[in-house]
Structure 1
Amino acid sequence: MHQLSQSLALKAILLVPDNKKALPYVSIKQGPSESYSQFIDRFAAALKDAPDLTEEVQDKLFSTLAFDNANSHTRTILATLPQGSPVDEMLVRATRAEQNSQNAAFMATMHDAIKQQGHILAAALTKVEKFQEQRIVAPHEDTSQCLVLKDTSDIFLVKNKPATWRSLSVDMKTAKEVTLKDKEVTLIPTNVCVPLYSVKSLVGGLLLGRSSTSKRGIIVIPGLIDADFTGQVQILAYALQPPVTIPKGSRISQIVALESFLPHRRQPREPHQKERLDRSFGFTGHEVFFTVDLDDCPIRTVILQHGAQQL
């Protein structure tokens, strides 16, 4: 009954004529030349400031108007997705289409420049530099470090809820847009700053990729988040078929909360015992360096020749 009431309320909001709507978030639409990610940012900010809606209604309204209020070109692209697809999948599909359109425009410009001027290298370098300047935009916020937690309500596992009542994990969001240009592992910052539950608790977490992420060809490497880690959680990921752009705010990974049941948890920390703090992707013990004995490696005799000279 509760879900039916929410659904009817949402339909009532959407059926009000545009010229009679006083709700600012309903009238926000994607401009003809506006990117889909910019439109989603504007719409999410307006919806977040709406005190008259419950969280469930906000989520439903967000997913519905993210499609309905997009421009006609973007709606054509989003229509290729299964009905009911989440907004993060819409973002990936729309962003990929926008990049393909940019690449096509780039190739057309290159062809015209080469045909008219004949300066192949000069035209290529000029256009590439222009596109690089357009892509390198100063970030709106510093995503390299965590903000100071004001109170316990800002802690990740306290502030965020699982997708369903029986879910074992909580989704994380990426803190900035990242492009996986090759198959190398890339660090992606998230909106999660630990401790995950409280400063004194022994609750850590297991970082895993979402099934929908793997289905799109993005592989998230599992990782363990210690309870005494105090830095920003980052995702290790790579693409099976690069390049792949992951927009800011994408839910590509999740955290499964884990509590330590080791015997030492009942005892206070000794002064000589180390803490993880903000040191990530490392270890707290002695450093280990692997070496290779060059005398045991295969040896082959070669001749270097340059003109009539040999070495």
Structure 2
Amino acid sequence: MDKPFTVLDLLDMDLKGHNALNLRCLAGRKGLNRTISVPDINRPGLELSGFYDSFDCDRVQLFGHGETAYLLKLKKEKKSSSIEKLFSYNIPCVVFTHSLEPDEFFLEIAEKNGCAVLQTSLESSEFSMRLLRVFSNIFAPKKTLHGVLVEVYGIGILLMGHSGVGKSECALELVERGHRLVADDIVQIRCVNGNSVLGQGANTFISHHMEIRGLGIINVSQLYGVGSIREQKEVQLIIKLEEWDQNKIYDRIGTDQTSTDLLGVKVPTIEIPVRPGRNLPIIIEAAAMNERLKAMGYNSARDFNQNILKWIESGEAQTTYYGSDDSY
């Protein structure tokens, strides 16, 4: 993360639909600048009962029906020490689910200790899932790359190569053929769940604009419609475009499985040499379909090798090369 993520940042997040947290602040606005450093949740049932050993005080504290009912019990018994001790720790914030509201005494202690008390209309389980999903995006390792990210036949392909090799022109042709652009020039990637890499434009305002040398800046969504773009996509294949080198030996069968490490995730990688006359969009489409076949368990290169070995073992290869007439 470039800067600390605060409770105010959480409150101000513009999330829509099934991602919305529906949060509002009930008290303790002084604590909105507190930092959320641990992307997890704690339900302080044991702590309210007086057991503070191994208290995860650096997590967001979640109060559901059970915790709120226990607060009412403490109020009737006039036991406030557990609540005061809870707020003596530097907890990031407190969230009440189900639109539950704490009593005035709880809010007064929170206000006195400068801790924000938030409320959501969501159920505890649903809010927990949404909040953890938000945290997985915010706290995920990130980096930016120079390249173009496109979606071809459902496969997220990151086009990489030296400036001027033709990445943007190739992506434009793919969009023309019905595929989708995710980001051009600067791609921000982040590792999610430790096993997948999501890519999107580093700047959401310009990510769907494209620079074409000799033409200038174009807006892909305006030219080709909103169906030609996508906000983010998992990077499932890296294609490195490079100028054709006569002295370099390129893989002609596809048995060499190479990969690139992106934030600790191995992403399959292929190199495609660029030279006049090569139809790169068609080659990239074939690469995307081949990657889908691999995901389904079929490997064309491996199957080709196995068929060749069977052909050699059957003896037909000798007949083909030498023939039945060995007088020559």
Q: Could you say whether these structures have the same fold, taking a TM-score greater than 0.5 normalized by the shorter chain as the test?
A: no
Q: Which structure's CA Rg is the greater one?
A: 2
TM interval, short-chain normalised? under 0.3
**TM-score w.r.t. length of structure 2:** 0.20
Q: Which has the higher strand share?
A: 2
TM-score, length-scaled by structure 1: 0.21
